[in-house]
Structure formats: structure tokens, C-alpha cells
Chain A
Amino acid sequence: MMKPSVSVFFSCTPGGERALAFASDLARLLSSDTVTVCVPGNKAVHPQVARLVDVNPDMAQSARVGGTVVKMPGFAVDNVAIRTFYDSGHTLEFPPQTIVVDARLAALRADLNVLVPLDERGLQSRGRGPLLVPFGDGTSGVRAGRLAVALAAALGHKVVFYHSTWKNPAVSSTSPEDHMIEKAAETRRTLEGLAAAAGVEFETLIETAADVVEGTILCAMRSGANLIVMARGLKTIIGSYVDKALEHSPVPLLIAADERSVA
């Protein structure tokens, strides 16, 4: 199981600073001494700018950004690898196991593992809590679960698998588990198997919450979760749970890539 690496897009804004702090904290927790910081460049740089810096403007910019980043409050690793990109960052390629810390990419790149830190400056900045993985009857839960288990194994965190089921009127039992459909139960077994195989401590919570995202966020708040790990449903065309969670959750979200696996 490969350990995830961490990349972040540089932005000199409060949100950008929080993303840098979160990315460096995550890299430190993963025992990595380097964070890759992506900075846009311009091949046709203005001659006045070129004259000013005497050397390659992008090299000069890298040095300045690197110097700025390590001095930022909360930046937790020693090394910064600056990666200059010239096209839109929306097409930038990353190695499969990379976690990209960025708020905007979550809506733009389904092929990346994107971590949205929201207003948090570090994974454990409020204490140590579990990683929460909501699952349903589709494959998205398993994709999220794979990423969460890999991350939990690397960080030594517990994982909480969460499922919200609708009541089956034909079932009289008051136990939510008895109302799960077989596909969801199968997903549960797969997730628990993944965690067990990786030696990751886990817990599964089944509820009959009225709203899936609401139930997920309430569960995250109750359990003091550090991160909610989700994946976009491949068949969903309207009403993505991920988008709704991004809009409402105070807990940072990690959105698992569509096509790739970190495991």
C-alpha cells in the first residue's frame, strides 16, 4: 500500500494560507519532509519582469514563493518543492497516490484526490479524531473507503464507516441494520474487510437519518471526525452528495478520485 504524497496550489490569500498549513501538516503526519507547491508561470513573461530578476523569472518566482511559504505561520515541513505550471492548473497531472489540497479543484477535477481544508489549518489541529467514510449501495463508498483506509493506515487513525438507510416498511425491526438493502450490506462487508486487512481500527454506524449528507455531517460532528472521505457517485448527474457536503460541512473533506486508486 503506497503512502500518499501531498501537493498544494500556492495562493497568497487567507484560504491559500490555510491550504498550505493543512498540506504541510498532513505531509508531516505522513512523515514526509516535502510538500509540492504548485505555482503558475508565464512562458512569455514580460521583458520588464525578466530584466528585474536577471535570471529565469520562474526560477526567481520559485525562490520567492519558497521563501514566503516556509515563513508562513503553521507551515510544518522543512522542504518545499516548487512546481511551476504554464497551462491551466485544471489540467495538471499528479502521481496517482497524490492528495491535492485545494478548495477550487474539488469542483473541477474528478480525476484527483482533492482535500478541501475548509477553515481548518491541520488534520489534527483540534485533536485526534477518526476519518469518516459514508457509504451507500454504489461503488463510490468503496473508492472513498480505499483512500481512507490507506490514509488511516499511514496516520494510525481510526475509520468510521457510516451508512444512512431508508426504513423498509415491510420490516418491523427497529434496528437500522435490518433495513439496509443487500447491496449496501455488501459494501459494508467490503469496507470492513479493507480496514481489517490493513490493520486499521474501524467502527460501522448505521442510521435511518432523513438526509444522507445531514446524517453524515452530524455523525462527523458527534464523533469529532478529523476528515470526511467521500467519492462522487459515477451515475449521479444532479444532487451530488459531495457538492452538498462541500457546501455545508465544517469538517474538512477528502474527495477520492474517480478512476484511480491509492491502494
Chain B
Amino acid sequence: MKISNPSSSVRAAALNPFVVMVVVTVMYIVKAMCKITMGTKINSPMVAGDGWHNVADIVEALAVIAVIFVARLPSSKDYPFGRKNIEFFTKLLIGAGLALMSVRFAVSSLVGLLSLSPGVDQAVRAVLPLPAHEPLIMSAGTFPWIVGITASSVLLSLVVSRYQIFVGKQSGHASLVADGEETASDGRIELVVLLGVLGEYLFHAAWIEYPLGLVVAFLIGRTGVELFLDGWRVLLQHSIGSDHEEAVRALCLRTAGVVEVSRLKTFRVGPTAVCMITVVSRHNNGACSYIKYGITHAVKAYLLENDFKGCEIEIEIKQPDAEFHRVAFALLKDRPGAVIAPTLSAATHLVICDVEHGNVVRATEEPQPEDPVAMLREKRVRSLYVLKTDATEAGKLKNRGITIIAAPSYVPAVMGLAVPERR
């Protein structure tokens, strides 16, 4: 609902969920009083029955007020995420109610259609236990009352439902949105009734109400199922959806320092999205806090732009697998300045290196032993670096599970074997 140039206090009041629900309750009281009084006076069970339906809506509106009150209570030690999920019970119930209402409305529309063809009606009733058809009883005297009451009811329902849905989305109250959808559904049903009344009066074609009723029943049923499923998913902590999860994953990978997203779990608590993320990063602790900040900033902005009213983001950063293994370098050290030896047999020394994350983290140097292959095997070396692979040597090493690799450079430091000089 668009409110033109209100003062800030009036605007704040108009956007207050309790004010909205008071407006809704007043609307239903007025509707119920008018419909029951006039329905009884003009002897119209249709109008009076709709009035009693509005009495039930008053009770529902009061229940929504209570639910909003509970949902707005602040989070506590016992309720760390607050009590917002209570709104999704309401959503679940209203969704189920709408789905049932759509079935009832579809059946009464079908019964109306069948009444147009008595032969078919009789055949179907022989198989299915259908309710009795209640034809529209209207006289010239009752027509203006029925049109007046139904038209104003349609208008009120449609305007107030828009207001409820708008404020519900703004304030993040799912029960307000669900109640708004229910009000809108009431309005649609009333509109169909109005079209039937007008069709009968103007064209003697009351049947027009029935096919329209089927369409409206479908729309109401769809809304009901959506509300029910939405409530169901939140209450059972369904994920926030694969599309949102993919977007969150992509945002994590866009953050500098993130190697991969190893775990992503999401669920909703009321209108709040909860994301539990584990990312892999090679950075140290100093950078990790900034990586967390970057992810939180990007994911929060995304979620708040996409229907969520809040978010809780838990991020864990872990190091990639160290892939611990051993390699060896064949070195020539018989002159100043060690170089990588052309072949294993030409080496004067072997350097056995512990490798973590692809980097040499520890190295021990041994003079070339009598049986270097046995020593490499004993030290569990996976690969041996030489300058040029010799087919015979490579074969021998391969038989012992060791790969021989040709180093592109003869300078040990270039190969990651930077030995600090000692005095």
C-alpha cells in the first residue's frame, strides 16, 4: 500500500504490524456485522454464511497478533535465535486452511456447473457423494444489498491484503504475510460471487460464477500449498535453497585467500538465514580474520537483498591437506656451490626432504651411500630430482616405487632447496 507523504510518526504507526492487524480485525468485525445483519434481513444464507466465515477470520487475526507478539520477543540464552519460528507454525496452518478452502470452493463450483446439466449431475452423484447445490436466490429488492455488501467486501479485502503483505515483508513477519494471502484469497472468492450475482442480474447467466470459481480455487490452492511448504521447510530446517547456496558458495570463492568451500550448511530461523561455512585457505591467522570479514560482508549483503530479514554467518577456516611426503635431490658437492647432479650415479650427496603443502620444510644431507636406491627406499622417498633422467636408473627406481624427475634448473635454491649459509 502506498502512503503519500505521511509524517514520520504516522508512517511508523502505519508500518507497525500490530496496527496492521488491528486494522484487519476491525475490517473483519465490520464485514461480519454487515453480512450477518443484512444476510438475515434479506434472507440470504450466502451473505450470512460469509459473515460467519468472517467471524472465524477475527479469531485468526487475534491469533496472528499473539504470534507476532511472541515472535518479537528478544533472543535469550534459552532461545539464541529468538522465537521467530512460531510465525511459521501460523504459516503452516494458514497454508493448510487455504488448501482445504480451495478444495471446498472447487467442489461447490463443480456442483454448480453440474447443476446446469441435470442428466450428468445425476450420473456423477451416483458415483460421488457431492453436496447439494445451493442456487443463488435473489430478488430485485435484495440485489442492491448483495452487490453493495459484496463489492465493498472485495475492495476492502484486496486493499487490506496488499497492506498486510507489504508490512509483513517489510517487518519480516511471515504470519502477517500469510494472513494477507488469506485475506486476498477471501477477496478473490468474494469477487467471483459478485461476478455471479452481476451475471445473473444483467444476463441471466449465473453459471459464469462456476468456471471462474474453479480458476480462483486453483489460485487459492496454489497459494495454500506454497504457504504450507514454506512453513514446513523452515520448521524442519530445510536449506535456504540450492540457488542461494550456490550464490553463497560463489561469493566465498570470490573472496581473496579462499582456496575452496569444503562445507556449506544453511537453514532458516524465521526470516533469518543461518549459514555455516567452512573454507580452505593457505593464509595464516592474521589474514584469516580478514577473509572471514570479506565473506561475511559479501554473503550478508546478498542475503539481505534476497528476501531474508537477517542472517547469522558462522565461518571456519581450515588449512588444506599438507600432503606430507618425501622427495630427494641428487647433488654434486665436490666443488664450491652445490648443483643438482646430472644423474643419481654421478651424485656426491643425497638430500632427503620432507615436503608439506608442496614446500620443503626439512632436509637432511647424506653422502652418496653404497646403495643409494636402498637408502631412498628406506627413507620412503617418493621422487628423486636429477638434472637428466637416465633410462636404466629410472627403471631401477621405478621398480622400488620411486619416480625420477628431471629438474629444470641445476640451482638447488630454484627447486625450493634453499639452504641457509652457516658461519
Binding site for B on A (CB under 8 A): 10-16, 39-42, 44-46, 48-49, 51-52, 57, 61, 64-65, 67-68, 118-120, 126-127, 217-218, 220-222, 224, 247-252
Does the CB pair B342–A248 fall under 8 Å?
no
Bound-complex Cα distance A16 to B414 (A): 9
Bound-complex Cα distance A51 to B388 (A): 12
Bound-complex Cα distance A40 to B337 (A): 13
> What is the total of A-B residue contacts with beta carbons within 8 Å?
112
The answer to whether B359 has its CB under 8 Å from any CB of chain A is: yes
Does the CB pair A221–B290 fall under 8 Å?
yes
Size of the chain B interface, CB-CB below 8 angstroms: 39
Bound-complex Cα distance A193 to B159 (A): 55
Does the CB pair B408–A52 fall under 8 Å?
no
Does the CB pair A61–B341 fall under 8 Å?
no
A113 to B: closest C-beta gap in Å:
20
Does the CB pair A48–B297 fall under 8 Å?
no
The answer to whether B80 has its CB under 8 Å from any CB of chain A is: no
The answer to whether B193 has its CB under 8 Å from any CB of chain A is: no
Contacts known (A11-B416, A12-B415, A119-B281); A250 close to B294, Cβ less than 8 A = yes
Other-chain residue from A61, A119, A249 in contact with B282 (beta carbon distance below 8 A)? A119
Bound-complex Cα distance A247 to B288 (A): 11
Does the CB pair B291–A250 fall under 8 Å?
yes
Contacts known (A48-B341, A48-B346, A249-B287); A40 close to B413, Cβ less than 8 A = yes
Bound-complex Cα distance A163 to B257 (A): 24
Interface residues of B in 319-350 (CB under 8 A from A): 332, 335, 337, 339, 341-342, 346
Does the CB pair A127–B290 fall under 8 Å?
no
User: Which residues of B have CB within 8 Å of A218?
Assistant: 290, 293
Bound-complex Cα distance A260 to B255 (A): 32
12 A-B interface contacts by CB (under 8 A): A12-B408, A15-B359, A39-B411, A42-B410, A48-B342, A48-B346, A61-B410, A64-B406, A218-B290, A224-B254, A250-B256, A250-B283
**Seed contacts A10-B414, A250-B290; 8 additional CB < 8 Å A-B pairs:** A13-B415, A46-B332, A64-B406, A65-B408, A127-B254, A221-B297, A250-B257, A251-B256
B232 to A: closest C-beta gap in Å:
36
User: Which residues of A have CB within 8 Å of B15?
Assistant: none
Bound-complex Cα distance A10 to B411 (A): 11
The answer to whether B369 has its CB under 8 Å from any CB of chain A is: no
A241 to B: closest C-beta gap in Å:
14
Contacts known (A15-B359, A250-B291); A221 close to B286, Cβ less than 8 A = no
Of B256, B294, B297, B410, the most chain A CB neighbours within 10 A belong to: B256
Does the CB pair B416–A12 fall under 8 Å?
yes
Of A51, A67, A120, A248, the most chain B CB neighbours within 10 A belong to: A248
User: Which residues of B have CB within 8 Å of A16?
Assistant: 416
User: Which residues of B have CB within 8 Å of A118?
Assistant: 256-257, 283
